[in-house]
Structure 1
C-alpha cells in the first residue's frame, strides 16, 4: 500500500521546540532535547515498519500491541529530572492530541477550523476506513502543565471534543514515534501557518484555571453526577484560592470574616440574617462547599467554596457595573478578595506549610511545621511567594530547616553553615561553599517556588551578617579564671625554660596580646616570642594545643597577598623554624611582624578590604643565631627551652588547663596589661637578642682593627702610611709618630680602605661597605654617632665628612 506523505518544504513559521524522548515506554529516564519544529516534523514524517501485518496486529492483546508499536516515544515538553510522571512536566512546547475517533475527512475538518501550524500522522491502528491520527501543534510559547490541558481541551473543542481520546490532555502523556504494520498505509501531512498563541486560547475562558469551564466530551460528562465533582476539590485549586480554602473551611470563614451575616442553625446548616427562611445555607463535604437556598442571599443558588463565599459577601457589590461575560478573575471583587487573602497571616502560613509538605519527598530532614515562624512572607495576587530579598531573608530566618544555620564568622571573615541542612546532614560547623549556594537555591525553588539566584545570594550575605559571631571572642568571654596563676610559668613548666622575670613577663605579654588582638583587632603588637631549642622537646606541639582549632603553621612567606590570606582564621601562627622569614628581606620581615592591618582583595572579591590583625606570631627554631638583622632583632623575644629542666611533659597539658591559661590572659587584658617591656627588661632582652643574632664574619677582623692603638698624628698620615702601620706596626713610623693612642672614631670607608686594602673608588654602592656597616653594629663598645643631625664627623683630607661610629666615650671630646 502506498504511503501518503506530504513532503516538508522550507517553513515560513518555525521555532525551536523542546521535547523529552526515550527508547521505550518502560524507560526510567527520559532525555530532554531541543530541535527546530521543521526538523521535528521531519522525524514525524518517517515511520518504522514493523514485521506483522495489520490483520495480525488487530488480533493481538492490548499489551502485545503496545510492545509492537513501542519504537520509542516522546513527550512534547521538558521533563524535570528526566522523569515522566505527573508533576514532573516543567513545560510543554507543543500540543499532542490523539484523534482516536477521527472522521474520514478529518484533515479537511482540521484545515477548515485551524488557522495555526500543525502536523498530523497516522498511528499504528490507522486504516483508511477507520482513521487513527495524532495531531501535533507547536505553541508560540511554552506553557506549564496547568495551562497545557486548558489549551488542549479548547483547541480540541474547536473541531469537536468527541473526535479526541478523553485522556489525551494529560501533560505527561507519552506519544509513540510513528510506526506502521508492513502492509498498512502511513499518513503524514502538515500546515505551515502562524504558531498557535496559547494566551489567545486561554483568554477565551472566563477563568481558565477553573476546570468547570474546560470543555469535555459527552463521554466525560456522563461520569459527572454531582455539582461538587464538577467544581473539583477547592482545597486543590492552584494559587491564592486554593490556599484560602485550605486555610479556612466554610465554618471558619463565616466565623472569621462574616460572623454578622449567618447564625448556625444546626449541624451543617446556617441561617442568613436577611433571609425569610431558616437553615437555608447547607454545607457539603465537611465544609468545603456551601449552597444557599435563601433567595435574598447574594450566593443564592450557587455552590461556593470558602473563598467565593467571602468574596461575594464582602466585595460582590463592586461587580454591579461589570459586563456579564467578564472573567471572574478580572472582577473587582476577585481582585479585592485576592488582596485580602494574600495579606492574611493564616493564608500565608498555610502556603508555607503547603510548600514544605510538597517538598518532603525531596528532603529527608525536612520539618513541615510553621508554628515557630515569627514573620510571614509576602505573596503575590496569584498566591505565589514574591521573589524578593526580604522574603528570602524571612525564609532563612524562620524555615525550621534553615533557621540559625547561616552565619558570618567575624574571625575567619567567611560565611559558615552551623549545622544540618536539607542537603547536608553534617552537624559540625563548616565553611559555606558554592555547592551550598546551589543546594539552597534548589531547596527554596522546590519548597517556595522562588527563582532568583542573585537575590538568594544577597539574602544569604544579609542573613549571615545578621547572625554574625566571633568564635574566639565567644570562647574567651565564656571562660572564668579560678585565680590560680599558670600563665607566666607555661613554658617554664612544660618546656624547661629558665624561670626568670623576663621569661615570665614575655610569656604573659605575648599571650595577653593574643587576647587583645581578638578583642581589639589590629591593636599594636609587633613582637614575636621565639622558642629556641632542640627538636622533639614539644615546642610546636604545645603551641598547637594552645591555639586549638585556630592554630596554624602554614605561613610560607611574609610578602604579598598569599601571606595575608594565610593569617585569616588564625589566632596563633607558628613561624616554624622561621622558614618564612628566611626567604624575605630584612625590611619585609620587620614590616610584616609589625603590621596591624592587612589590605587586599580576596579571591573573587569585588573590593579591596581591610583585615585588622587578630593573630599573634610565636616562632620556633633550633638554630641559636636565628636573628639575621642587627636592627630588627628587637621585635623578637627569644626564649631558650631545656628538655632537662622540663617539669611536666607537654602531652600532659589538658584542655581544662589551657582554658584557665587563656582565662588568665583575659584577666590581664581586662586589667589593661601593656604589651611591651619596661626599659629595664628591654635592656635585659637586648642582651638575650644579641646572643641569638647571627654574627658577621667581619666582626672579629674589624674588632681587632679598632682595638689596635694608632699614632697620635693619624689624621696627618697618608692612606699608604696607615696601611703600612696596620701591616708592620711601629717599624713603619718615625720616632716623632711613635706615641700611640686609642682609636675613638671610625667610618665604614676607612675600614674598607685601610683594614681590607680596597680602593676608595670601589666603595660606592659596594655590598662590602654594607657588610662592614652591619658588622660595626655588632662590635662591642662602639655606637652610631648621634652628636649632630647628620651623624657625621670629619675624617681628614682622605675621607672628608662621613657617617661615624664612636667608641663609648664622651662624644663632646670628638671633633
Structure 2
C-alpha cells in the first residue's frame, strides 16, 4: 500500500524506472528515506533525518551525502544520477518540506505569564537593577525573536556585557541559544568570512570585542551592524543571493574602556556585570528557564513591541556608553586640561594662530604682560592651538565632533546656550564673526568676557 505510488513511475524498455524529471520528483517526494530530506529555512540548507544519508559532519547534505543518495538510487531504482543532478532535484523537493527549527525552539512552550527576561542578566550575571537594564534586556530578547520570524527587520544594537573574567558571560549566551550559538565572529575577518559566520547562527557573540581595536575598526563595525541583509553564493549554488539577517549580536569583554571614539557607539547597549556566584550555582536554573524566556519574548513580539528605546532611555544609554569609551583614557585629555587652565596674555586675543601655538609650546612669550584665563573656546581652536601635535597628525580621529565629546568630560566647561556667539578669533568664526555653540567656562562672568577682539588686530609678528 505504501509503495503504490511506484506504479506511477514510467519505465524504460527494460522495465526499470526511467530517468525522467517526473519520475525523479516522485521518488524524491514519496520514497520513505529520500522524503526525510527537508529544507532548513533558517540555515538555508538541506538536512536529512534519515541515517542512510548522514555524513561525518551530521545531517547537513553535502558531497558525501549526495554520494550516498547516488548509491541508494542505483541500488533501489537502478537510476544513475550525477551529484549536480541530485542537488538540482533536492532544490525543489526538499523545499516543499521546509521547516524553521529556531521558530520551533522559540515557540515550544506557551508563556505562563510570569515576567522573566527583563531581570535575566540581573539575576544570573549580577547587573544593576535599573529601568534601563531591564528595558535593554527585554528589547534584545524580543529582537532575537523578531529576527527569526521576520528576517531582516531593523535592529542593529549589540547587547554588550563588560565584566570580570569567569563569571559566565559567554556561558549565559550559549545557554539561551539552543544549537544556534556562534562565538567565532570577528570584525577583523573579511566580509565574506563574517557573512558565512553569521548565516548559520542566531545568537552571535563578539567575544572580547574581537577586531575592534582601532577607530577604523569601529567605522567598519558600524557599517556591518547596520545591514539588514547580506549577499553571498550558497554552497552548490550558481548565483549570488540575498540572505536576510535572522540573528542578533551580543558582545562580552573584560575591559571597561573599550568603545573606540564616539561615532556609532549608540549601537552598543552596555550592561556592566559583576557576577552572581559561581556559574554552576545558576546554570541549571537558567537552562530550565530558557523555554519560558523565549515564550515570553515571543508573546511580546506578537503584541507588536517596538525594538527601540524611548528618547529618555536613549540619552541614558548614551551616558553609559561614554563611561565605557576610550575617550576617558585618551592621551590628549591631560593636554586639553592644561591648555584650558593655562593663563594667557591679554594680547592673546590679537595674535595670529601660529603665534598662539608657539606660545602654548613655550616658544614665544611676552614678559610682564597682564595675564587672563581662556573663558571661551571651540573645538577648532583646540585642534589648532593644543601644544600636543598628535591632534594635527591624526585628523581622522581628532575631529571637531570628537573634541566636543572630550570637552564634555570637563565639569567646569559647558556649551553656550546661545547658538552663535561673538568673541573668538576670526579663524574660528563664520562670516558674521560668530562661533556656533562654543564652550564657555562655567564660572566665567559672560560668554564674551575673554578674548574680545578689537576692530584691528595688532600682531606681534
Deviations 1:370-396 (A, max 9, x none): 25x498322345533221122112112
After TM superposition, list the pairs within 5 Å mapping 1:463-542 onto structure 2. 463-542=93-172
How far apart, CA to CA, are the structure 1 residues paired with 2:104 and 2:354? 73
Deviations 1:198-238 (A, max 9, x none): xxxxxxxxxxxxxxxxxxxxxxxxxxxxxxxxxxxxxxxxx
Aligned residue number for residue 439 of structure 2: 807
Aligned residue number for residue 366 of structure 2: 732
1:544 matches 2:174 = yes
Aligned residue number for residue 751 of structure 1: 382
Is the partner of 1:431 in helix, strand or coil?
coil
How far apart, CA to CA, are the structure 2 residues paired with 1:378 and 1:543? 53
Deviations 1:329-383 (A, max 9, x none): xxxxxxxxxxxxxxxxxxxx9xxxxxxxxxxxxxxxxxxx625x49832234553
1:675 matches 2:307 = yes
User: Which structure carries more strand by proportion?
Assistant: 1
1:570 matches 2:197 = no
1:486 offset after TM fit, Å? 0.7
Q: Tell me if structure 1 keeps the 8 A contact 2:414–2:439.
A: yes
Q: For the structure 1 residues 647 and 471, does the alpha-carbon distance in structure 2 shift closer, same or farther, using more than 3 Å as the test?
A: closer
How far apart, CA to CA, are the structure 2 residues paired with 1:758 and 1:656? 57
Q: For the structure 1 residues 714 and 607, does the alpha-carbon distance in structure 2 shift closer, same or farther, using more than 3 Å as the test?
A: same
How far apart, CA to CA, are the structure 2 residues paired with 1:394 and 1:786? 77
How far apart, CA to CA, are the structure 1 residues paired with 2:180 and 2:312? 34
Deviations 1:695-715 (A, max 9, x none): 211122113323556566644
1:553 matches 2:183 = yes
* Bigger Rg, structure 1 or 2: 1
How far apart, CA to CA, are the structure 2 residues paired with 1:495 and 1:528? 17
Q: 1:394 aligns with which of 26, 31, 54?
A: 26
Q: Tell me if structure 1 keeps the 8 A contact 2:343–2:371.
A: no
Aligned residue number for residue 658 of structure 1: 290
Q: For the structure 1 residues 758 and 656, does the alpha-carbon distance in structure 2 shift closer, same or farther, using more than 3 Å as the test?
A: closer
Is the partner of 1:610 in helix, strand or coil?
strand
Aligned residue number for residue 407 of structure 2: 779
After TM superposition, list the pairs within 5 Å mapping 1:397-476 onto structure 2. 397-403=29-35, 405-421=36-52, 430-453=59-82, 454-476=84-106
How far apart, CA to CA, are the structure 2 residues paired with 1:492 and 1:540? 15
Q: For the structure 1 residues 433 and 770, does the alpha-carbon distance in structure 2 shift closer, same or farther, using more than 3 Å as the test?
A: closer
1:653 offset after TM fit, Å? 2.7
How far apart, CA to CA, are the structure 2 residues paired with 1:786 and 1:593? 36
Q: Tell me if structure 1 keeps the 8 A contact 2:37–2:94.
A: yes
Q: Tell me if structure 1 keeps the 8 A contact 2:55–2:64.
A: no
How far apart, CA to CA, are the structure 2 residues paired with 1:680 and 1:734? 52
Q: Tell me if structure 1 keeps the 8 A contact 2:162–2:256.
A: yes
How far apart, CA to CA, are the structure 1 residues paired with 2:180 and 2:388? 55
Q: Tell me if structure 1 keeps the 8 A contact 2:163–2:254.
A: yes
Is the partner of 2:258 in helix, strand or coil?
coil
Aligned residue number for residue 767 of structure 1: 394
How far apart, CA to CA, are the structure 1 residues paired with 2:298 and 2:117? 11
Which protein has greater RCO, CA pairs closer than 8 Å, 6+ apart?
Answer: 2
Q: TM-score, normalised by structure 2?
A: 0.82
How far apart, CA to CA, are the structure 2 residues paired with 1:576 and 1:496? 19
Q: Tell me if structure 1 keeps the 8 A contact 2:339–2:386.
A: yes
Q: For the structure 1 residues 475 and 733, does the alpha-carbon distance in structure 2 shift closer, same or farther, using more than 3 Å as the test?
A: same
Farther-moved stretch of structure 1 (606-615 vs 475-484): 475-484
How far apart, CA to CA, are the structure 1 residues paired with 2:415 and 2:12? 81
Aligned residue number for residue 704 of structure 1: 338
Is the partner of 2:212 in helix, strand or coil?
helix
Q: 2:259 aligns with which of 620, 623, 627?
A: 627
How many pairs does the alignment contain?
433
Is the partner of 1:582 in helix, strand or coil?
coil
Q: Tell me if structure 1 keeps the 8 A contact 2:161–2:251.
A: yes
After TM superposition, list the pairs within 5 Å mapping 1:298-447 onto structure 2. 370=3, 373=5, 376-380=8-12, 382-403=14-35, 405-421=36-52, 430-447=59-76
**Which consecutive residues of structure 1, in runs of 5 or more, have no partner in the other structure?**
1-348, 350-368
1:442 offset after TM fit, Å? 1.7
Deviations 1:770-800 (A, max 9, x none): 4364344222156699969xxxx98426998
Q: TM-score, normalised by structure 1?
A: 0.48
1:804 offset after TM fit, Å? 6.8
1:652 offset after TM fit, Å? 2.6
1:609 matches 2:241 = yes
How far apart, CA to CA, are the structure 1 residues paired with 2:48 and 2:406? 54
How far apart, CA to CA, are the structure 2 residues paired with 1:448 and 1:657? 49
How far apart, CA to CA, are the structure 2 residues paired with 1:419 and 1:809? 75
Is the partner of 2:313 in helix, strand or coil?
helix
How far apart, CA to CA, are the structure 1 residues paired with 2:286 and 2:300? 21
How far apart, CA to CA, are the structure 1 residues paired with 2:250 and 2:335? 35
Q: Tell me if structure 2 keeps the 8 A contact 1:407–1:465.
A: yes
Aligned residue number for residue 717 of structure 1: 351
After TM superposition, list the pairs within 5 Å mapping 1:269-284 onto structure 2. none
1:597 matches 2:229 = yes
